[in-house]
Structure 1
Amino acid sequence: MSHGRNEGESMWSGDELDLDAYLERVGYDGELAPTVRTLTALHRAHVRAIPFENLDVALGRVVSLDVKSLQSKLVRSRRGGYCYEQNSLFAAVLERLGFQVAGRGARNRTRGDVLLPVTHALLIVTVDGRPWLADTGFGQQGPLEPVPLREGVRVEQGGWTFGIGVEDEGIHVLRSLRPEGWKDLYAFSPQTLCPGDFTVMNHYSSSHPRSSFVGKVVAQQPGAGVRRALIRDLLTTVRADGTVEERTVGPGELIQTLSEVFGIELDAEESAALVRVHSAVV
């Protein structure tokens, strides 16, 4: 069945990717065969090197998802991005290496019983006939490595434990084990999404006044044993043993915090504009 793409045309534009530049950015020099081992190592390297951030959204800029724009920002300028950017770039990398990659749209469940729209983008990667959830763009709560997409699975990653549940209508749920028990992170249907679907979701998240990314600074980084998140003026550090540290980040500390905690370097114009945004919401 045709899906509107020409024969030989890549879904995620992996053919346009500067693979060597990406591998240098994430610090990966391992094998590149389309295996579970490669997928796992690349996923781990990506989330360690490229932070989750919404700074272009906070500045009111257009967020572009074409591979050349993503490479310019996340690779060459050594910036970060949010889910659509992170997973679109990762999909291009995986496609270039010969992996079978499909997009999915998820409903965030981290806010309790609030029913949110489907706005999170993730990937399903099939290796040797088995599907894996790959998500380099869920911020500090996201997985460090791919998770087998199998009901009841439970995996430990760097001190954090994730699981997969299945609900009615084939809905899969990514869960995280906390001291108080399992917590749903997000839920997604089997429907395959394409880059154009990510573009539509990205438009809402980057511009709609009800989007959780508009009008404030967000930067996050998952990691082995420790996770950090800056949302508005609150910097939270969560450790695998359950301890939580919080501190307020004022306008005068913002740029230094983005640099020292998240590795995000900005020019003088961007820094001044972000401080103005930050000052208006704290």
Structure 2
Amino acid sequence: MWNSDDLDLDSYLAFLAYEGDRAPTLETLRALQRAHVLTVRWDTLDSFLYREVRLDLPALQDKLIRRGRGGYCFEHVTLFAAALEKLGFRFTAVSGRVQLGADSSRPRPATHAMLLVELEGTRWLSDVGFGASPLEPIELVDGARSNAGPWPYLLRWQEITHGSPGWAVHQPGDGADGPEGWQVRQVFTENPQYPVDYAVGNHFVASNDRSPFVIRPYVQRLRTDRYDTLDALTWTTEHPGRDRKQETVQPHEVPKLLDDVFGIRTGPDEAELLVRRLADLAG
């Protein structure tokens, strides 16, 4: 279903520097998720510059693996799903609604891609495409937590939209829809999604005038002790337990910043186009 015959699994695993067991076990899933989140880059440059994001595996492998560019959730999850399928994992794809900064009574579209992986009668949420993603899968039970990365996550079964129940991923913060000290990050149901469903969601995110990824670039990089974002021309760095650092950069500084801080390579023509578009945006 996820076109794993088109995936060069050896090249993907080599890019992750993964040399572990390839059996479809929880240990393998944990190691692959951690490696993917920390290695494969995250950006929305294609939607901002071209209003087009391709999800076919040859294009994804060329972009994310060979050229060292980043992508967003639909790209990450399509690539990861093909790898899991080729390794023999059983899973269901789902879509979620990002809740941060949103009013739960007016939900955003379900345009965040995730996987529910089945292992020995237990299901695990594998979310590799958020940018600041959990470094391990989270067991799909009410109250499950992840503490593997620099910030913890909490999974709850609760009301998510207009009285409907579903799953909510929480991160530290203050929000009306979560317990004290937590805010809802994204919500989702277990309704299965297929590649054609992701193609529809991806088209909206990549090309619609109302998509936040069309109107400005957004770039993320998570490390075990640091989280960097570039939102248009605002560069923010966070370390666990410390105040965030924020500064404004100039358009001509962005290509070097992408390479030095985010590990994202842009060719000369693309860098020139990006600087020009950022200058127009700033103006």
**Unaligned ranges ≥5, structure 2:** 175-179
Which residue is 1:36 aligned to?
Answer: 26
Report 1:89-128 matches (<5 A).
89-113=79-103, 115-128=107-120
CA deviation string 1:14-33 (max 9, x = no partner): 12110111011111111111
Distance 1:112 1:263 in 2: 30
Contact 1:14 1:92 in 2 (8 A): yes
Which residue is 2:121 aligned to?
Answer: 129
SS at 1:132's partner residue?
Answer: strand
CA deviation string 1:53-83 (max 9, x = no partner): 0111111142111111111111111211000
Contact 1:170 1:190 in 2 (8 A): no
Q: Which residue of 51, 73, 78 maps to 2:68?
A: 78
Distance 2:58 2:102 in 1: 37
Give the percent of matched residue pairs that are identical in Structure 1 and Structure 2.
38
SS at 2:215's partner residue?
Answer: coil
SS at 1:210's partner residue?
Answer: coil
Amino acid at match of 2:29: L
CA deviation string 1:97-150 (max 9, x = no partner): 00012111111111142631111111111111211111111113x212211111
Say whether residues 1:240 and 2:230 are aligned partners.
Answer: no
Distance 2:197 2:225 in 1: 34
Distance 2:228 2:266 in 1: 19
Of stretches 226-235 and 194-203 in structure 1, the one that deviates more from structure 2 is 226-235
SS at 1:222's partner residue?
Answer: strand
Say whether residues 1:158 and 2:153 are aligned partners.
Answer: no
CA deviation string 1:175-225 (max 9, x = no partner): 112488111110001100001100000000000001010032111012212
Amino acid at match of 1:176: Q
SS at 1:157's partner residue?
Answer: coil
Which residue is 1:139 aligned to?
Answer: 131
Distance 2:198 2:263 in 1: 26
Distance 1:40 1:153 in 2: 15
Which residue is 1:271 aligned to?
Answer: 271
Of stretches 180-189 and 80-89 in structure 1, the one that deviates more from structure 2 is 180-189
Of stretches 261-270 and 164-173 in structure 1, the one that deviates more from structure 2 is 164-173
Distance 2:91 2:273 in 1: 37
Amino acid at match of 1:235: W
Runs (4 or more) in structure 1 with deviation over 3 Å come to none
Which residue is 2:46 aligned to?
Answer: 56
**Unaligned ranges ≥5, structure 1:** 1-10
User: Could you say what the CA RMSD is over the residues aligned between the two structures, in angstroms?
Assistant: 1.4
Distance 1:147 1:242 in 2: 26
**For the structure 1 residues 176 and 88, does the alpha-carbon distance in structure 2 shift closer, same or farther, using more than 3 Å as the test?**
same
CA deviation string 1:216-235 (max 9, x = no partner): 21110122121111111111
Which residue is 1:175 aligned to?
Answer: 170
SS at 2:256's partner residue?
Answer: helix
Amino acid at match of 2:183: K
TM-score of the superposed pair, with normalisation by structure 2:
0.92
Which residue is 1:46 aligned to?
Answer: 36
Contact 2:173 2:183 in 1 (8 A): yes
Q: Aligned residue pairs: how many?
A: 271
Of stretches 253-262 and 56-65 in structure 1, the one that deviates more from structure 2 is 56-65
Distance 1:204 1:242 in 2: 36
Distance 1:166 1:44 in 2: 25
Contact 1:144 1:222 in 2 (8 A): no
Contact 1:59 1:274 in 2 (8 A): yes
